[in-house]
């Protein structure tokens, strides 16, 4: 940074003519179990809700905000009980809870990469629905863009699960897995042909598909809308999101 400032002093014309990018500088890391950090309309939640089922640590940080595109990352190492989720570090933005019929589109894009050893994790959107804005959850709808280490969504027909359908939504092929978490019905759309590390789509299209084919009511309220990584086990892991955006219409 010091050398860069000296260069600007002696090369004023060059510095003045160089293109600039408006962004917020990197924020502090967070390593607590339920801490959060925010910038613009985005909040990154640590959400290490299953930490007691294993041993390890995890930190996350905001790297930049350029316009409406968020760059963020999380690093972690977890061991113990390889079939239990240790955390779901994720990003959220505020929106108004309404019936699905009142959303016209939810365009989103997500560019990311994952590295590490013996990873058991996913990269996924996670959403919850209910019969009213503040009622108990009735549906969970997930979109898995990446799967590592052979983990599986909740399934009603055993493991490894057998897809109940293989829809193509927004140009991406998915395996649809249906399961239950207590009384909550879980639909998981899992990218069929490997990780989708540069995704662009409309989340409303997944709800419309379920309404047309699986009797999901358009009167269900969208309660929660998150994007992050469910972590099971692995070491030296790092999820880097170079760009993430979402808009609820």
Work out the burial of residue 181: count CB atoms within 10 Å of its CB; fewer than 13 is exposed, 13-18 middle, 19 or more buried: exposed
Cis peptide bond N-terminal to 204, omega within 30: no
Whole-angstrom CA distances from 211 to 9, 169, 218 are 62, 14, 7
Q: Does residue 230 carry a catalytic annotation?
A: yes
- At 94, is the secondary structure helix, strand, or coil? coil
Q: Of 24, 82, 92, 230, which one is the catalytic site residue?
A: 230
- At 188, is the secondary structure helix, strand, or coil? strand
- At 2, is the secondary structure helix, strand, or coil? helix
Q: Are strands 42-45 and 55-66 parallel, antiparallel or unpaired?
A: unpaired
Q: Does residue 82 carry a catalytic annotation?
A: no
Supply the residues annotated as catalytic.
140, 230
């Amino acid at each position: 940074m010091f050398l860069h400032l000296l260069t600007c002093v002696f090369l004023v014309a060059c510095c003045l003519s160089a293109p600039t990018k408006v962004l917020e500088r990197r924020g502090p890391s967070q390593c607590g179990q339920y801490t959060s950090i925010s910038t613009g309309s985005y909040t990154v939640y640590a959400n290490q809700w299953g930490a007691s089922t294993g041993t390890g640590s995890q930190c996350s940080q905001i790297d930049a905000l350029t316009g409406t595109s968020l760059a963020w990352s999380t690093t972690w190492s977890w061991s113990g009980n390889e079939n239990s989720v240790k955390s779901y570090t994720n990003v959220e933005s505020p929106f108004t809870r309404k019936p699905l019929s009142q959303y016209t589109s939810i365009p989103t894009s997500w560019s990311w990469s994952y590295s590490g050893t013996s990873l058991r994790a996913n990269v996924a959107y996670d959403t919850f629905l209910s019969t009213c804005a503040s009622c108990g959850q009735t549906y969970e709808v997930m979109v898995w863009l990446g799967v590592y280490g052979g983990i599986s969504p909740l399934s009603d027909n055993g493991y490894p699960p057998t897809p109940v359908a293989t829809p193509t939504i927004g140009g991406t092929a998915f395996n649809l897995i249906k399961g239950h978490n207590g009384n909550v019905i879980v639909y998981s759309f899992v990218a069929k042909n490997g990780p989708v590390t540069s995704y662009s789509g409309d989340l409303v299209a997944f709800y419309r598909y379920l309404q047309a084919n699986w009797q999901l009511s358009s009167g269900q309220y969208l309660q929660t809308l998150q994007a992050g990584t469910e972590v099971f086990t692995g070491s030296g892991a790092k999820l880097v999101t170079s760009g993430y955006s979402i808009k609820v219409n």
